[in-house]
Each structure stands twice: as structure tokens, then as C-alpha cells.
Amino acid sequence: MVGRTPMVGRTPMVGRTPMVGRTPAVSLVPASPDADAVARDLAIDLGTANTLVYARGEGVVLAEPSVIAINERSGEVLAMGDEAWHMIGRTPEHVVAKRPLRKGAITDFEVTQRMVRLLLERVGVSRFNRPKVLICVPSAITAVERRAVTEAARRAGAADAQLIEQPLAAAIGANLPISEPVGNMVVDIGGGTSESALLSLGGVVALEAVRVGSFDIDSAIQAYVRREYGLAIGERTAEEIKWTIGSAASTPDEGRAEVKGRELMSGLPKTVVLTPVEIRRAIEEPVVAIVESVVQCLAQAPPELAQDLMAQGICLVGGGSLLRGLDARIAEDAGVPVVPVETPMECVVLGAGHCIESFEAMRVMFMEGRR
């Protein structure tokens, strides 16, 4: 009879049925509202135009404009992201909607730090939940800027803040065989910057970064409409013109755009009709600057790697690369085929996200790990 004790006070384990319709009598109460939240490691693409956040095991959890609205009298942050973007050009005098990373540099550390803090709050980072954070930065970033970004993330609650170069992240996101001894080229055209990088064996072999991007195309459109038609338009209207009829080379079925603005002379609303041809002319200067920087990067390529590129092609990423005809223009001027990627605006954050899925193994790719 050894071991065959009657099951006094015990229920048999066999036939454990789900407790349908029953609530357990005892349940665990977390020590604090946040204590049950496991820190989710994060990858952040702090772009000049858009900020994207990828949470480990989840994917992209936030994608919003890199804009912050501040009350300059009190220093209070009123809004960030989508909400702040809607305020651009519509704020009273003491409220400013800023793009703190506009030219790809940390020009305003205070504001950048507030933005990072808000961003981390938005995705659930708190005192109880301190994730490891991997931030994508331009390759050309200075040592001072590098420290500023990691410091901002640490102060905002990150347990560990590491940096990865944007072109490297983009190449990983585009599934390029970057660890092989084969040349791959990535061109990332963002709002304020355009970066071309030639990669091989997991490193950047040649780099050409210019502080010219898709924002400069908007500005060129704004300036043209003002000069030619005496009409003032906002930067958001200029951006819409770029999306609807902007192009870097002629394309079939080109339509016109009707644009409303304020006439400079009279101060009254006025409508004009713009053609794709005149917009193409108006944006030629920034387009040439972008294409030129790609060509400059290629010119630095050692012969073997240049050969590889003829076969592999150039990967175009970033929102700026979506300008119609820009791919054709780059392919023609660089003499190298251009290959499209599936998600040009998410490529960088997806690549960094891939790195945080195996944080320790991918440490060699981080800026610190490479020194």
C-alpha cells in the first residue's frame, strides 16, 4: 500500500479541464501597475522626417513624423508625432512645431532629448520597464552627436543604448548579403539627408552623405511658386505637390495639379494650375545634388566591388526615393541598375529590429562594438 495514500484534500490532476465560466479564487496581483510588463527591447529609426519604433517580438509599433510642438513661453512640450505635425504652420506665435533632426544633425539637444523621452513613454517605457534600445543614426554623425543621442535615450529610461549606422541597418532590412565579401550599395534618401554607402563584409567601405534630401525638394517647389506666381504656399502644400505631380524624369500619364495659396501682392487666396514639367525644372537642383552624391560614392568603390555592383544593383530606400523617375535617373547617371525594395520607408527600422531580435549576437554591427 506504500505510496497509495488517499487523495485527501486533493483533486486529481487527470482531466484538468479549462475553467470555463469560472474565475479563479486566487490570482496574482502585480506589485505595481507596471511590474508585470517585461521590458521590450526596441529599435528606433530617428529619421529627419519620420520616427519609427520596432519592438522585439512584435514588429513596428510606431511610425510618426519627427515633429514636436513646444510652448516657448513655458518650455512645455504640447505634442509630438502626428499631432504635432498637424500644427505645422498653424500655431500661435509662442507655440512652435519643430523638426529637431531636420538636417540629420542634433542641432537642438534639449528638444531631441524631450522627443526621445516622449517616444519611449509612448511605447510603454517606464521606471519599471527599462529596455535595451538600438538607435539608427547617420554614418556621418559626429562623436559629440553620438554621445548626445545615447545620453538622451539613457536619460529617457533605456537600460542600454546602442547605435547602428543607418545604411548598415537598411542593408540588413533589405536582406542584402552584407557579411559576404561582395559589394552591396544602399542609397537612403530621407527628408534632410541622402546617404550612399558601399558595404562589404559587414562594414562600410565607402560613404557619401549630403545634407540634401526630400525636404529640399519641397523648399524648391515653395520658392518656385512664390517666384513664378507670386503665391505663398506652406511646406505641407509643397510636399503634396511633390507627391502628386513631382518627378525627376518624365513619366507616362502626367497630370496637372491645382494649388491654392495666398497671393503675396493682395494677401488674398488664389488658385494656380501647375504642370509636372515646370515642377521638374523647379526641383532640378536638389535632384542633381542627390544623384551626384550617389555617383561620388560609386567613384570611391575599389574596382572589384564596382564590378559586383553591376550585377547586384543599387538598393534605393527612404521616402525620398519614392519620387517618380528618381530610380531611372540614378540608374542612368550612375550606370548601375537600381533594384527596388519592398518597404523603402521601413527598411532601416526593420534591419535594426532584426539586430535586436538577437541583440548580443549582432553586437558586432553596432557602432560601439566596432571600435
Contacts with ligand ADP, residue ranges (CB under 6 A) = 47-50, 190-192, 214-215, 239, 242-243, 318-320, 322-323, 345
Cell 488674398: give the residue.
Answer: 268
What does 49 interact with, of Mg ion, ligand ADP, none (CB < 5 to 8 A by kind)? Answer: ligand ADP
Cα(259)–Cα(62) distance, integer angstroms: 32
3-class DSSP state for residue 50?
strand
* Least distance in angstroms from the C-beta of 34 to ligand ADP: 30
Number of residues that bind Mg ion (CB under 5 A): 2
Using CB under 5 A as the binding rule, whether residue 167 contacts Mg ion is answered as: no
Cα(60)–Cα(164) distance, integer angstroms: 17
* Least distance in angstroms from the C-beta of 336 to Mg ion: 22
What does 323 interact with, of ligand ADP, Mg ion, none (CB < 5 to 8 A by kind)? Answer: ligand ADP
Which pairs from 178-182 meet CB under 8 Å and 24+ separation? 178/202, 182/308, 182/312
Q: Treating both helix axes as pointing N-terminal to C-terminal, what angle do 284-299 and 214-229 enclose, rounded to 10 degrees? A: 150
Cell 494650375: give the residue.
Answer: 273
Query: Which residues from 238-277 bind Mg ion, rule CB under 5 A?
Result: none
What does 50 interact with, of ligand ADP, Mg ion, none (CB < 5 to 8 A by kind)? Answer: ligand ADP
Binding segment for Mg ion (CB under 5 A), chosen from 17-25, 43-51, 52-60, 242-250, is 43-51
Residue from 40, 47, 135, 165 in contact with Mg ion (CB under 5 A): 47
What does 191 interact with, of Mg ion, ligand ADP, none (CB < 5 to 8 A by kind)? Answer: ligand ADP
Nearer to ligand ADP, 183 or 192 (CB): 192
What does 320 interact with, of ligand ADP, Mg ion, none (CB < 5 to 8 A by kind)? Answer: ligand ADP
3-class DSSP state for residue 5?
coil
Using CB under 5 A as the binding rule, whether residue 65 contacts Mg ion is answered as: no
Do 182 and 311 meet the contact criterion of CB atoms below 8 Å apart?
no
Do 185 and 309 meet the contact criterion of CB atoms below 8 Å apart?
yes
What does 65 interact with, of ligand ADP, Mg ion, none (CB < 5 to 8 A by kind)? Answer: none
Nearer to ligand ADP, 37 or 328 (CB): 328
Residue from 131, 157, 183, 190 in contact with Mg ion (CB under 5 A): 190
* Least distance in angstroms from the C-beta of 157 to Mg ion: 23
Give the side-chain half-sphere CA count within 13 A for 351.
34
Cβ atoms < 10 Å from Cβ of 368: 12
Q: Which three cell numbers mark 186?
A: 544602399
* Least distance in angstroms from the C-beta of 268 to ligand ADP: 28
Q: Which three cell numbers mark 7?
A: 487523495
Dihedral pair phi/psi, residue 8, rounded to 5°: -65, 130
* Least distance in angstroms from the C-beta of 347 to ligand ADP: 9
Residues 224, 228, 234, 240, Cα dihedral to 10°: -70
**Residues found near Mg ion in the complex (CB under 5 A):** 47, 190
